[in-house]
Amino acid sequence: MMSEGSSFMKGLILGGIFCLVMSYFETFNPGVHSESHQHLHHHLKPLSKDELQKLSESQMSELTQQVRVYCLIMVTPKLLVHWVTVNDTWSKHCDKSVFYTSESSKAVEGFDLQEQDEWARLRKAIKHAYENAGDLRWFFVARPTTFAIIENLKYLVLDKDSSQPFYIGHTEKSGELDYVEYDSGIVLSYEAVRRLIEMFKDEDKCPERGRALWKMPEEKQLATCLKYSGVFAENGEDAQGKGLFNKKSTSSLISDSMGQNPADVVEACCSDMAITFGGMSPSQMQVLMFGVYRLRPYGHDFHDSLTFLPPKDSDND
Amino acid sequence: MKALGARSAFYVGFVVGTCSLYLLLSQVGFTRNLGSRKNEAHVKSLLEMIEEENKNWKKERSALFNLNHPHHTGEDGKLADALYKRVRILCWVMTGPANLEKKARHVKATWSRHCNIVVFISSVDNPDFPTVGLNTKEGRDQLYWKTIRAFHYVMEKHGDEADWFLKADDDTYVIVDNLRWILASHSPEDPLYFGRRFKPYVKQGYMSGGAGYVLSKEALRRFVEGFRTKVCTHTTSVEDLAMGQCLEKVGVVAGDSRDTLQRETFHPFVPESHLTGTFPKTFWYWNYCYYPIVQGPQCCSDLAVSFHYMDSSHMYLLEYYTYHLRAFGYKHRYQPSEPNISNAPVPDKMEIGDSEQKHGVEAQEGEKQSPELNEKS
């Protein structure tokens, strides 16, 4: 009895010491694991103002001509109001926008893929977009609950070579996999899409219908297929390191900032050059459209080296 | 048997020790650490706030004098600065003791920073905020009393320090730079006032209280004079209507505040309502608006001046949309004309905050300005 009791006590004390030691080690270990996954271009930023000014006028106009975006908006009839709103707002600023739907709707035009499975639908949409890209070299995939400011997207990728593989957005980590979150929009260069479509042919590494019992979300399936083709996710951010791709809505981000930074709500919140906001309701999108493309304080000018003109036949921008 | 028992007792003890200490640490040690860190961060941000405020505001005689017209990184604010000097606006904000933390504080943190002078009008004096107490009670029935007293107060204390006098509620969001654009082509010596024009009850119409309205210096003089001569009295607590009636009596003209495409600039509701809402046909609004109502995107000018019923998060959101978020390189469809700067003399006697402002002014002098703005009296 005695020896059991004392063994127990020894164990208890050693266990306590073990716990203390482990907790100290934890505080020393945060960055080590992620260090091993540093890519060369893990954080992607736009050209700085100085770099922009160094470009000649002809270089500038060449780049502006080249950076053209094909928007793939993945809709379903359930999200009809969002579908119509996106059609009426930000998608007008894409060089080409196609609404890929699971089934057609009488109310609004879309490309009917006749496919219920989300991953299969995404694959079909990407294949169709690649085949119909013409001379467009950048692809942007979004849900209709996301609002995108295409001019800021163009600014981000202005100096990036579309014949190189780029896979950009807000990056998250799932185990060993870096993936771009769907809700904040996915940017792919022409080369990335070309490699992806090649990888689609490989039923082992990149199956169309998942064999597992559970379904991996499309964003992770996409990341996996891309990873096999040597394309890695990169986080889009501005010169200050603020994320440009947001999965939360503007009002949600402002509320968060009011709680966390009451002294400096707007400065600390979101980037001036933000590209996407997710989880937006249709009326929030109409207000954001007004806020981005029209509302401004008189007398404050930005002499940007680039010019993007407003689209034809539109009156809300 | 005994050895086995002792060994397993050891292991059990080890596990129990680890777990219980872990629980203990997470309850006591670490959370306390986290707690104090959070407190530190909170104290730090309060200190930052106070420091910021001391740099940008000069508190004097219960008013806030703006020392630095706020600038945004990377922008060219020359034109806005020129108008800031030329078109001096005193903003007075109708608030009350119960709303200082809930509402007025956010007005102070956002749009009022673009006024030349800000006065917060309450029923109680508060030297810290600061607010001016005007010997009234709180409540809807006190609105016109507060308004009358407020205008008399700003006339008396700040009459020479501004050209235009804006009234706003603590849930109104005002884009003061756009207000300057409208006012720049008018003279403060003319008896004028601007706002969201309503048509009933007053022949020339009156301006919605919630959407904010602005009086020229001459209009303010006549308003105060009207009360002295008893031409105007406290007729009703419906503040905006009573203002309209008094101003019409003393010969102040109700102006048209719409932009060059006849789009409204002062708005009595939140942006969503004007941009996306469809007002039911029986809604009073249809019978009130002086000019034809437009629903949808053309409801509102690109150079909108005000929105009403804005809660705190909405104010910060609109601040983000107006002054921060933009589409890089985008050439706006609506290119407003530069205002015909009225021939009113540039004030040669600049008031408090002068010495700090001068540094900013001198930096501007050397730069190219449009010929009209360089006129000296």
Nearest to B6 among A7, A274, A300 (CB): A7
> Could you report the predicted ipTM of this complex, rounded to two decimals?
0.86
Confidence grade of residue B59 (pLDDT, cut at 50, 70, 90): confident
- Give which of A26, A53, A295 to mutate to test B binding, by max B Cβ within 10 Å: A295
How do beta strands A69-75 and A96-101 pair?
Answer: parallel
Nearest to A297 among B5, B178, B332 (CB): B178
pLDDT at position B365 is 39
CB B137: neighbour CB atoms within 10 A? 10
Confidence grade of residue A160 (pLDDT, cut at 50, 70, 90): very high
Question: Mind listing the pLDDT tens digit for each residue in B222-268?
Answer: 999 999 999 999 989 899 999 999 999 999 999 999 999 999 999 99
A254 with B331: Cβ contact below 8 A: no
Confidence grade of residue B54 (pLDDT, cut at 50, 70, 90): low
B322 with A7: Cβ contact below 8 A: no
Residue A264, pLDDT above cutoff 50? yes
Give A75's contacts (C-beta < 8 A, 6+ positions apart).
A82, A83, A86, A99, A100, A101, A102, A110, A143, A144
Residue B40, pLDDT above cutoff 70? no
pLDDT at position B3 is 59
Give the SS3 label for residue B352.
coil
**Mean pLDDT of the B335-360 span:** 55
What is the rounded distance in angstroms from the CA atom of residue A20 to the CA atom of residue A8? 19
pLDDT at position B111 is 96
Q: Contacts of residue A257 in chain B, CB cutoff 8 Å? A: 316
Which one is predicted more confidently, A113 or A5?
A: A113
Residue B341, pLDDT above cutoff 80? no
Residue B52, pLDDT above cutoff 90? no
pLDDT at position B57 is 72
Residue A170, pLDDT above cutoff 90? yes
Residue B35, pLDDT above cutoff 70? no
Looking at chain A, the whole-number percentage of residues with pLDDT higher than 90 is 71
Confidence grade of residue B352 (pLDDT, cut at 50, 70, 90): very low
Could you tell me which chain A residue has the CA closest to the CA of B329? Answer: A307
A7 with B276: Cβ contact below 8 A: no
- A146-150, A244-248, B56-60, B288-292: segment of lowest average pLDDT: B56-60
CB B224: neighbour CB atoms within 10 A? 18
Q: Contacts of residue A251 in chain B, CB cutoff 8 Å? A: 313-314, 317
Question: Mind listing the pLDDT tens digit for each residue in B316-326?
Answer: 999 999 999 99
CB B215: neighbour CB atoms within 10 A? 28
Confidence grade of residue A51 (pLDDT, cut at 50, 70, 90): confident
Residue A293, pLDDT above cutoff 80? yes
A265 with B316: Cβ contact below 8 A: yes
Question: Mind listing the pLDDT tens digit for each residue in A173-217?
Answer: 999 999 999 999 999 999 999 999 999 999 889 998 866 666 789
Tell me B297's DSSP state: G
pLDDT at position B1 is 54
B7 with A9: Cβ contact below 8 A: no
Q: What is the mean pLDDT of chain B?
A: 85
Q: Contacts of residue A268 in chain B, CB cutoff 8 Å? A: none
- Give which of B265, B320, B331 to mutate to test A binding, by max A Cβ within 10 Å: B320
Chain A: give the shortest CA distance to residue B240, in Å.
27
Confidence grade of residue B62 (pLDDT, cut at 50, 70, 90): confident
- A252-261, B11-20, B74-83, B195-204: segment of lowest average pLDDT: B11-20
Nearest to A307 among B2, B180, B329 (CB): B329
**CB contact residues (below 8 A), chain B span 174-193, against chain A:** 175, 177-178, 180-181
- A202-216, A255-269, B165-179, B296-310: segment of lowest average pLDDT: A202-216
Q: Contacts of residue B174 in chain A, CB cutoff 8 Å? A: none
- A73-77, A130-134, A207-211, B353-357: segment of lowest average pLDDT: B353-357
What is the rounded distance in angstroms from the CA atom of residue B293 to the CA atom of residue B70? 34
- A186-190, B13-17, B97-101, B224-228: segment of lowest average pLDDT: B13-17
Could you tell me which chain B residue has the CA closest to the CA of A281? Answer: B272
Residue A50, pLDDT above cutoff 90? no
Q: What is the mean pLDDT of chain A?
A: 90
Please state at what angle helix A282-293 crosses helix A250-260, rounded to 10 degrees.
Answer: 80
Give the SS3 label for residue B266.
strand
What is the rounded distance in angstroms from the CA atom of residue A152 to the CA atom of residue B109? 28
User: What region, left, alpha or beta, does residue A313 occupy, with left being phi > 0 and alpha being psi -120 to 50 degrees?
Assistant: left
Give the SS3 label for residue A105.
coil
**Mean pLDDT of the A282-289 span:** 97
Question: Mind listing the pLDDT tens digit for each residue in B136-169?
Answer: 888 888 888 999 999 999 999 999 999 999 999 9
Looking at chain A, the whole-number percentage of residues with pLDDT higher than 70 is 92
**CB contact residues (below 8 A), chain B span 204-243, against chain A:** none
CB distance from B17 to chain A under 8 Å? yes
pLDDT at position B118 is 96
A293 with B72: Cβ contact below 8 A: no
What is the rounded distance in angstroms from the CA atom of residue A162 to the CA atom of residue A155? 14
Nearest to B329 among A4, A254, A308 (CB): A308
A269 with B320: Cβ contact below 8 A: yes
- Residue B165 near residue B320, CB atoms below 8 Å: no
Confidence grade of residue B86 (pLDDT, cut at 50, 70, 90): very high
Question: Mind listing the pLDDT tens digit for each residue in A77-108?
Answer: 999 999 999 999 999 999 999 999 999 888 88
B13 with A10: Cβ contact below 8 A: yes
Looking at chain B, the whole-number percentage of residues with pLDDT higher than 90 is 63
**Mean pLDDT of the B7-36 span:** 72
Question: Mind listing the pLDDT tens digit for each residue in A231-249?
Answer: 999 999 999 999 999 999 9
- Residue B58 near residue B64, CB atoms below 8 Å: yes
Q: Contacts of residue A261 in chain B, CB cutoff 8 Å? A: 45
Nearest to B77 among A291, A300, A305 (CB): A300
Which one is predicted more confidently, B148 or A11?
A: B148
Picking from A127, A125, A85, A92, the residue whose alpha carbon sits closest to that of residue A108 is A85
pLDDT at position B9 is 83
Looking at chain B, the whole-number percentage of residues with pLDDT higher than 70 is 81
pLDDT at position A269 is 94
Chain B: give the shortest CA distance to residue A174, in Å.
26
**Mean pLDDT of the A104-118 span:** 90
Which one is predicted more confidently, B100 or B344?
A: B100
Phi, psi of A47 (to 5 degrees): -60, 145
Tell me B50's DSSP state: H
What is the rounded distance in angstroms from the CA atom of residue A267 to the CA atom of residue B376? 38
Question: Mind listing the pLDDT tens digit for each residue in B262-291?
Answer: 999 999 999 999 999 888 888 999 999 999
**CB contact residues (below 8 A), chain B span 21-60, against chain A:** 21-22, 25, 45-46, 48-49, 52
What pTM was computed for the model?
0.82
